[in-house]
Amino acid sequence: MDRSSIVLVLLTLTLSCASRDAGDPLQPGYNTFSKEQDIQIGKEYAAEIRKQVDVIDNPRLQEYISTIGMRLAGQPQADDYPYEFTLINEPSINAFALPGGPIFVHSGLVDAADNEAQLAGVLAHEISHIALRHGTSQASKSQMIQLPAVLAGAVLGRRGDMLGQMGQLGVGLGLNALITKYSRSAEKQADALGARIMAQAGYDPLQMAKFFEKLASEGGPRPPTFLATHPDPGNRTRLVQEEMATFPAAEYGYATGDFNRSKTVIAQLPPPNRPEQVEEVTTAAAAANSSPSAPSSAAFERFDARTFSIERPQGWETFGGQQAVTIAPREGLVQTRNGGVVIGYGAVISRYEPRYRSDLLNATWELVQQLQETNPNLQVTHAPQRRQIDGSPSMTVGLTGRSPYGGAERNVLLTVVRPDGLFYIVFVGPDRNFDQLEPAFQQMANSVRFR
Ligand code: ZN
């Protein structure tokens, strides 16, 4: 059996033990991130989001959401993440959780709920996605080349439709990034764990299922955006009832008594004022006309990240957080038809934690397999070549794929084994222009310095 078959068999084994009976304990699944990284990623991403949405400036309303949220987050199944609940002025019906604790609730969701237990149900469901680490678990399995571009997309935004775009990124790109389209099995798990958390906090878990079923039945031409990221797994009421049958008998009458007042205040909010609207990224159509070219200036400047530094061509920008960055000119980011952002040309820098601690060649090979897993178009064109980066053994692999500009894309993957995993850069460019970009990519590669 060759190595790729072994990796596939192992992955299949990991994924196939999913069946679970009501009441069985729920555990986080496969994940290449650490809990600390979940918290770090969530914190960085939440800071970006707060700049771009209309956080409701009403302490009493914020406290109302936090009071319910913290009551739920205090239950043992929520685990000990630094949970944080933020109510934002957005009339669409949605709520979303970032890895490691931050939860954002749209005012429209509170407006759509019939009672506090339904609102608590959404919060318990989101808490469960965090506790079960669904975001980074799916990101672990997804396309690691595009993850940083997704972060870039979140930073750039699209005028007037930031939240819609973030919701669509997971859907449109067919990848599951941090704000993700959860799988149906993840939805079932979040319902099951959410029901338990609600019950322990004194809320009727059935209200969660009722609310989600109400949203699903509304459907129509504009279904609630919540369903775009939290797909309906079906039979939610029955699933919650089966879970509840395994709980100790309890009374579910808890409520703060502030629901109706809060709902009235929300109904009177002005239209959302989204504080920071940044310019639209190049559309795919426009980008196709302006063929990407080499950096106009030969000048480079050093960019310092936490664990490394690198030179980038002047005029190129850095997008993303500590975990993964995209270095590209703005016109190197391409907006897809469904509102996502992908990298057309530039460099993506990240870290991969090999599943099996191994040498440079094996770890690099494993990363290539992982990249191909969700991007079947990627083909290895050049066998691995050894080189040195900052005095450490390094490897490059040539890959081809499909360019968002149309036609073939060339990728050069560069890897270096570091104490915290495999450091990697993917240099990306359309095949027809790659030769022009290559000198800049070479200089970037040679300029990498580790701390
Ligand atoms: Zn969900």
Cα of 104 vs centre of ligand 1, distance in Å, is: 13
Cα of 186 vs centre of ligand 1, distance in Å, is: 7
Cα of 83 vs centre of ligand 1, distance in Å, is: 17
Cα of 45 vs centre of ligand 1, distance in Å, is: 19
Cα of 12 vs centre of ligand 1, distance in Å, is: 24
Cα of 129 vs centre of ligand 1, distance in Å, is: 7
pLDDT in tens, 254-268: 999 999 999 999 999
What is the C-alpha separation between 246 and 390, in angstroms, rounded? 58
- Contact assessment for residue 96 and residue 181, using Cβ atoms and an 8 Å cutoff: no
Which pairing describes strands 379-389 and 392-402: parallel, antiparallel, or unpaired? antiparallel
pLDDT in tens, 334-355: 765 545 567 888 998 888 877 7
Cα of 106 vs centre of ligand 1, distance in Å, is: 15
List strands edge to edge, sheet with 102-106.
84-88, 102-106, 95-97
Cα of 327 vs centre of ligand 1, distance in Å, is: 32
CA 208 to chain centre: 24
Cα of 182 vs centre of ligand 1, distance in Å, is: 6
pLDDT in tens, the chain (451 residues): 444 444 444 444 444 445 788 989 898 987 777 888 788 878 877 887 787 788 999 999 999 999 999 999 999 999 999 999 999 998 888 898 988 999 999 999 999 999 999 999 999 999 999 999 998 887 766 545 454 554 444 444 433 333 333 333 332 222 234 455 788 899 999 999 999 999 999 999 999 999 999 988 876 555 677 887 788 888 999 999 999 999 998 889 899 999 999 999 999 998 888 654 333 333 443 444 345 566 666 799 998 888 899 999 998 888 765 567 788 887 887 765 545 567 888 998 888 877 766 688 888 888 888 777 656 778 888 878 899 999 999 999 999 988 888 888 999 999 999 887 889 999 999 999 899 999 999 999 999 999 8
Cα of 180 vs centre of ligand 1, distance in Å, is: 9
Indicate the pTM of the whole model: 0.58
What is the C-alpha separation between 11 and 15, in angstroms, rounded? 6
Cα of 344 vs centre of ligand 1, distance in Å, is: 31
Cα of 230 vs centre of ligand 1, distance in Å, is: 4
Show the 3-state SS of the chain.
Answer: CCHHHHHHHHHHHHHHCCCCCCCCCCCCCCCCCCHHHHHHHHHHHHHHHHHHCCECCCHHHHHHHHHHHHHHHCCHHHCCCCCEEEEECCCCCCEEECCCCEEEEEHHHHHHCCCHHHHHHHHHHHHHHHHCCHHHHHHHHCCCCCHHHHHHHHHHCCCCCHHHHHHHHHHHCCCCCCCCCCCHHHHHHHHHHHHHHHHHHCCCCHHHHHHHHHHHHHCCCCCCCHHHHCCCCCCHHHHHHHHHCCCCCCCCCCCCCCHHHHHHHHHCCCCCCCCCCCCCCCEHHHHHHCCCCCCCCCCEEEEECCCEEEEEECCCEEEECCCCEEEECHHHEEECCCCCEEECCEEEEEEECCCCCCCHHHHHHHHHHHHHHHCCCCEEEEEEEEEEECCEEEEEEEEEEECCCCCEEEEEEEEEEECCEEEEEEEEEEHHHHHHHHHHHHHHHHHCEEC
Cα of 243 vs centre of ligand 1, distance in Å, is: 17
